Structure 1
Amino acid sequence: MKRIFAITLVAMLFIPNLLSANQTKGLNVILTTADGQSQMMAMVLSMMTLKQKKEVNMTLCSSAGDLAVKGKKSMLFKPMNKSPKMMLQAIIKNGGKVQVCPLYLPNSGQDASVLLDGITVAKPMDVAKGLLDTQFQNLSY
Protein backbone atom coordinates (compact mmCIF):
# COMPACT_ATOMS: atom_id res chain seq x y z
CA MET A 1 0.00 0.00 0.00
CA LYS A 2 2.87 2.36 0.82
CA ARG A 3 4.47 1.68 -2.56
CA ILE A 4 1.21 2.34 -4.40
CA PHE A 5 0.84 5.62 -2.51
CA ALA A 6 4.46 6.57 -3.25
CA ILE A 7 4.13 5.77 -6.95
CA THR A 8 0.85 7.69 -7.16
CA LEU A 9 2.43 10.65 -5.39
CA VAL A 10 5.43 10.66 -7.73
CA ALA A 11 3.12 10.44 -10.75
CA MET A 12 0.99 13.32 -9.48
CA LEU A 13 4.08 15.44 -8.96
CA PHE A 14 5.77 14.48 -12.21
CA ILE A 15 2.84 14.48 -14.69
CA PRO A 16 2.37 18.28 -14.64
CA ASN A 17 6.08 18.57 -15.33
CA LEU A 18 5.80 16.20 -18.28
CA LEU A 19 2.95 18.27 -19.70
CA SER A 20 5.22 21.29 -19.73
CA ALA A 21 8.27 19.29 -20.85
CA ASN A 22 8.67 21.22 -24.10
CA GLN A 23 9.21 24.40 -22.08
CA THR A 24 12.01 22.95 -20.00
CA LYS A 25 15.64 22.26 -20.75
CA GLY A 26 15.67 19.12 -18.68
CA LEU A 27 15.79 17.46 -15.31
CA ASN A 28 17.94 17.82 -12.20
CA VAL A 29 17.98 14.60 -10.15
CA ILE A 30 19.26 14.41 -6.59
CA LEU A 31 19.53 10.76 -5.59
CA THR A 32 20.38 9.81 -1.99
CA THR A 33 18.39 6.67 -1.24
CA ALA A 34 19.84 3.19 -0.89
CA ASP A 35 16.48 1.73 -1.95
CA GLY A 36 17.01 -0.07 -5.26
CA GLN A 37 13.48 0.42 -6.59
CA SER A 38 13.63 4.16 -5.97
CA GLN A 39 17.07 4.31 -7.58
CA MET A 40 15.69 2.43 -10.58
CA MET A 41 12.73 4.78 -10.92
CA ALA A 42 15.09 7.77 -10.88
CA MET A 43 17.12 6.12 -13.64
CA VAL A 44 14.07 5.26 -15.75
CA LEU A 45 12.69 8.80 -15.54
CA SER A 46 16.12 10.22 -16.34
CA MET A 47 16.43 7.98 -19.39
CA MET A 48 12.95 8.97 -20.58
CA THR A 49 13.98 12.61 -20.21
CA LEU A 50 17.05 12.04 -22.38
CA LYS A 51 14.91 10.29 -25.00
CA GLN A 52 12.85 13.48 -25.21
CA LYS A 53 16.08 15.30 -26.16
CA LYS A 54 16.27 17.06 -22.78
CA GLU A 55 19.27 17.39 -20.44
CA VAL A 56 19.75 15.33 -17.28
CA ASN A 57 21.95 16.47 -14.40
CA MET A 58 22.21 13.84 -11.68
CA THR A 59 23.91 14.20 -8.32
CA LEU A 60 24.46 11.06 -6.24
CA CYS A 61 24.82 11.53 -2.48
CA SER A 62 24.89 9.33 0.60
CA SER A 63 24.11 5.66 -0.11
CA ALA A 64 23.27 6.38 -3.75
CA GLY A 65 26.90 7.40 -4.24
CA ASP A 66 27.73 3.69 -4.18
CA LEU A 67 26.23 3.47 -7.69
CA ALA A 68 29.16 5.56 -8.94
CA VAL A 69 31.84 3.22 -7.58
CA LYS A 70 33.58 0.69 -9.81
CA GLY A 71 32.99 -2.90 -8.73
CA LYS A 72 29.99 -2.25 -6.46
CA LYS A 73 26.99 -4.29 -7.53
CA SER A 74 23.36 -3.26 -7.69
CA MET A 75 20.40 -5.60 -7.96
CA LEU A 76 18.55 -6.40 -11.20
CA PHE A 77 14.93 -5.31 -11.57
CA LYS A 78 12.18 -6.72 -13.72
CA PRO A 79 10.81 -6.35 -16.32
CA MET A 80 13.95 -4.80 -17.82
CA ASN A 81 16.40 -7.13 -16.07
CA LYS A 82 18.68 -4.17 -15.51
CA SER A 83 20.19 -2.64 -12.41
CA PRO A 84 20.28 1.01 -11.38
CA LYS A 85 24.03 0.94 -12.05
CA MET A 86 23.48 -0.37 -15.58
CA MET A 87 20.91 2.36 -16.19
CA LEU A 88 23.27 4.96 -14.74
CA GLN A 89 25.95 3.96 -17.23
CA ALA A 90 23.40 4.16 -20.08
CA ILE A 91 22.41 7.65 -18.92
CA ILE A 92 26.05 8.75 -19.10
CA LYS A 93 26.44 7.13 -22.52
CA ASN A 94 23.36 9.02 -23.73
CA GLY A 95 24.69 12.39 -22.59
CA GLY A 96 23.48 12.67 -19.00
CA LYS A 97 25.75 14.50 -16.59
CA VAL A 98 26.38 12.48 -13.41
CA GLN A 99 28.28 13.62 -10.33
CA VAL A 100 28.78 12.50 -6.76
CA CYS A 101 28.29 15.06 -4.03
CA PRO A 102 31.58 16.38 -2.63
CA LEU A 103 30.89 14.79 0.76
CA TYR A 104 30.56 11.24 -0.57
CA LEU A 105 34.17 10.27 -1.35
CA PRO A 106 35.98 11.68 1.71
CA ASN A 107 33.32 10.31 4.06
CA SER A 108 33.43 6.86 2.51
CA GLY A 109 37.23 6.71 2.67
CA GLN A 110 37.65 6.81 -1.11
CA ASP A 111 38.96 9.14 -3.78
CA ALA A 112 37.95 9.99 -7.36
CA SER A 113 39.90 7.02 -8.76
CA VAL A 114 37.06 4.68 -7.72
CA LEU A 115 34.45 6.49 -9.84
CA LEU A 116 33.03 5.02 -13.02
CA ASP A 117 34.09 6.69 -16.26
CA GLY A 118 32.11 9.84 -16.90
CA ILE A 119 31.31 10.58 -13.25
CA THR A 120 32.89 13.57 -11.55
CA VAL A 121 32.73 15.26 -8.15
CA ALA A 122 30.06 17.96 -7.97
CA LYS A 123 30.77 21.57 -7.10
CA PRO A 124 28.09 22.78 -4.63
CA MET A 125 27.77 26.20 -6.29
CA ASP A 126 27.09 24.59 -9.68
CA VAL A 127 24.53 22.17 -8.23
CA ALA A 128 22.76 25.01 -6.41
CA LYS A 129 22.75 27.11 -9.57
CA GLY A 130 21.23 24.21 -11.52
CA LEU A 131 18.53 23.59 -8.91
CA LEU A 132 17.55 27.25 -9.02
CA ASP A 133 17.37 27.30 -12.83
CA THR A 134 13.64 27.55 -13.61
CA GLN A 135 14.20 25.96 -17.03
CA PHE A 136 14.86 22.64 -15.27
CA GLN A 137 12.55 20.43 -13.24
CA ASN A 138 13.96 19.07 -9.96
CA LEU A 139 13.42 15.49 -8.83
CA SER A 140 14.74 14.06 -5.59
CA TYR A 141 14.79 10.50 -4.26
Structure 2
Amino acid sequence: MPRYEHVLTRDDAAIAAQLMTDWAGPWRTSAEFAHYLAHCRQAIQIPQAAFCALEAYRWVFRGALRPSGRRFVKLMQQPITSPTLHLHGGEDTGVLPRTAQGSGRYVAARYEWRLLDGVGHLLQQEVPDVVTAEILRWIKE
Protein backbone atom coordinates (compact mmCIF):
# COMPACT_ATOMS: atom_id res chain seq x y z
CA MET A 1 0.00 0.00 0.00
CA PRO A 2 2.49 2.61 -1.11
CA ARG A 3 -0.05 5.46 -1.12
CA TYR A 4 -2.21 4.43 1.84
CA GLU A 5 -2.25 7.98 3.19
CA HIS A 6 -5.08 8.84 0.78
CA VAL A 7 -7.20 6.14 2.42
CA LEU A 8 -6.14 7.27 5.89
CA THR A 9 -7.19 10.88 5.28
CA ARG A 10 -10.41 10.49 3.31
CA ASP A 11 -13.77 11.25 4.90
CA ASP A 12 -12.20 13.78 7.29
CA ALA A 13 -9.57 11.22 8.36
CA ALA A 14 -12.24 8.77 9.55
CA ILE A 15 -9.88 5.77 9.62
CA ALA A 16 -7.24 7.66 11.61
CA ALA A 17 -9.93 8.78 14.04
CA GLN A 18 -11.23 5.23 14.41
CA LEU A 19 -7.73 3.89 15.13
CA MET A 20 -7.14 6.52 17.80
CA THR A 21 -10.54 5.86 19.35
CA ASP A 22 -9.94 2.10 19.37
CA TRP A 23 -6.51 2.50 20.95
CA ALA A 24 -7.53 4.97 23.64
CA GLY A 25 -8.67 3.81 27.03
CA PRO A 26 -11.72 5.13 28.90
CA TRP A 27 -10.46 8.64 28.08
CA ARG A 28 -12.09 8.21 24.66
CA THR A 29 -15.49 9.06 26.17
CA SER A 30 -14.36 12.48 27.46
CA ALA A 31 -14.86 15.91 25.92
CA GLU A 32 -11.09 16.35 26.14
CA PHE A 33 -10.57 13.33 23.86
CA ALA A 34 -13.13 14.66 21.35
CA HIS A 35 -11.22 17.97 21.25
CA TYR A 36 -7.85 16.19 20.88
CA LEU A 37 -9.22 13.89 18.18
CA ALA A 38 -10.56 16.84 16.18
CA HIS A 39 -7.09 18.44 16.21
CA CYS A 40 -5.42 15.17 15.20
CA ARG A 41 -7.87 14.68 12.33
CA GLN A 42 -7.11 18.18 11.11
CA ALA A 43 -3.34 17.73 11.47
CA ILE A 44 -3.13 14.40 9.61
CA GLN A 45 -4.85 16.07 6.63
CA ILE A 46 -2.15 18.72 6.23
CA PRO A 47 -0.61 18.04 2.81
CA GLN A 48 2.13 15.40 3.09
CA ALA A 49 1.63 14.87 6.86
CA ALA A 50 0.08 11.42 6.46
CA PHE A 51 2.65 10.49 3.81
CA CYS A 52 5.50 11.36 6.17
CA ALA A 53 3.81 9.66 9.14
CA LEU A 54 3.62 6.39 7.17
CA GLU A 55 7.13 6.56 5.71
CA ALA A 56 8.68 4.46 8.49
CA TYR A 57 6.27 1.62 7.69
CA ARG A 58 7.01 1.84 3.96
CA TRP A 59 10.74 1.83 4.69
CA VAL A 60 10.46 -1.49 6.54
CA PHE A 61 9.18 -3.17 3.38
CA ARG A 62 11.45 -1.31 0.95
CA GLY A 63 14.53 -1.72 3.09
CA ALA A 64 14.11 -5.35 4.07
CA LEU A 65 16.27 -6.66 1.23
CA ARG A 66 18.60 -3.70 0.86
CA PRO A 67 21.98 -3.48 2.60
CA SER A 68 20.71 -0.59 4.73
CA GLY A 69 17.78 -2.73 5.87
CA ARG A 70 20.03 -5.61 6.85
CA ARG A 71 22.30 -3.21 8.78
CA PHE A 72 19.26 -1.79 10.56
CA VAL A 73 18.05 -5.26 11.58
CA LYS A 74 21.51 -6.12 12.89
CA LEU A 75 21.61 -2.90 14.93
CA MET A 76 18.12 -3.56 16.30
CA GLN A 77 19.31 -6.93 17.57
CA GLN A 78 21.78 -5.24 19.91
CA PRO A 79 20.54 -4.82 23.49
CA ILE A 80 19.62 -1.35 24.71
CA THR A 81 22.32 -0.20 27.12
CA SER A 82 20.47 2.78 28.60
CA PRO A 83 18.34 2.55 31.73
CA THR A 84 14.74 2.18 30.59
CA LEU A 85 11.39 2.97 32.16
CA HIS A 86 8.63 1.25 30.20
CA LEU A 87 5.17 2.69 30.87
CA HIS A 88 2.33 0.81 29.21
CA GLY A 89 -1.43 1.23 29.24
CA GLY A 90 -3.35 -1.70 30.65
CA GLU A 91 -6.09 -1.18 28.07
CA ASP A 92 -3.77 -0.55 25.13
CA THR A 93 -5.14 -2.34 22.07
CA GLY A 94 -2.52 -0.88 19.69
CA VAL A 95 0.32 -2.77 21.40
CA LEU A 96 -1.14 -5.36 23.72
CA PRO A 97 0.31 -5.42 27.24
CA ARG A 98 1.01 -9.16 27.01
CA THR A 99 3.05 -8.51 23.86
CA ALA A 100 5.04 -5.66 25.39
CA GLN A 101 5.75 -7.34 28.74
CA GLY A 102 8.72 -9.25 27.39
CA SER A 103 10.49 -6.11 26.19
CA GLY A 104 12.86 -6.11 29.15
CA ARG A 105 14.84 -8.94 27.59
CA TYR A 106 16.11 -6.44 25.01
CA VAL A 107 17.56 -4.11 27.66
CA ALA A 108 20.99 -4.80 29.15
CA ALA A 109 20.67 -1.97 31.68
CA ARG A 110 18.26 -1.18 34.49
CA TYR A 111 14.72 -1.84 33.28
CA GLU A 112 11.39 -1.21 34.91
CA TRP A 113 7.99 -2.20 33.53
CA ARG A 114 4.96 -0.28 34.80
CA LEU A 115 1.46 -1.21 33.70
CA LEU A 116 -0.99 1.68 34.10
CA ASP A 117 -4.48 0.29 34.69
CA GLY A 118 -7.38 1.94 32.93
CA VAL A 119 -5.16 3.59 30.34
CA GLY A 120 -4.94 2.94 26.61
CA HIS A 121 -2.23 3.51 24.00
CA LEU A 122 -2.13 7.31 24.35
CA LEU A 123 -1.02 7.37 27.99
CA GLN A 124 0.86 10.67 27.79
CA GLN A 125 -2.43 12.25 26.69
CA GLU A 126 -4.75 10.16 28.84
CA VAL A 127 -2.96 10.52 32.19
CA PRO A 128 -0.23 13.16 31.75
CA ASP A 129 0.13 13.76 35.50
CA VAL A 130 0.74 10.06 36.15
CA VAL A 131 3.28 9.83 33.31
CA THR A 132 5.10 12.92 34.58
CA ALA A 133 5.14 11.57 38.15
CA GLU A 134 6.50 8.22 36.98
CA ILE A 135 9.26 9.87 34.96
CA LEU A 136 10.25 12.11 37.89
CA ARG A 137 10.23 9.09 40.23
CA TRP A 138 12.40 7.16 37.80
CA ILE A 139 14.91 9.99 37.45
CA LYS A 140 15.31 10.29 41.22
CA GLU A 141 16.11 6.60 41.72
- Higher percent of residues as helix: 2
Same fold (TM over 0.5): no
- TM normalised by structure 1 equals 0.28
RCO higher in structure (CA 8 A, sep ≥6):
1
Larger Rg computed on CA atoms: 2
- TM normalised by structure 2 equals 0.28
- Higher percent of residues as strand: 1
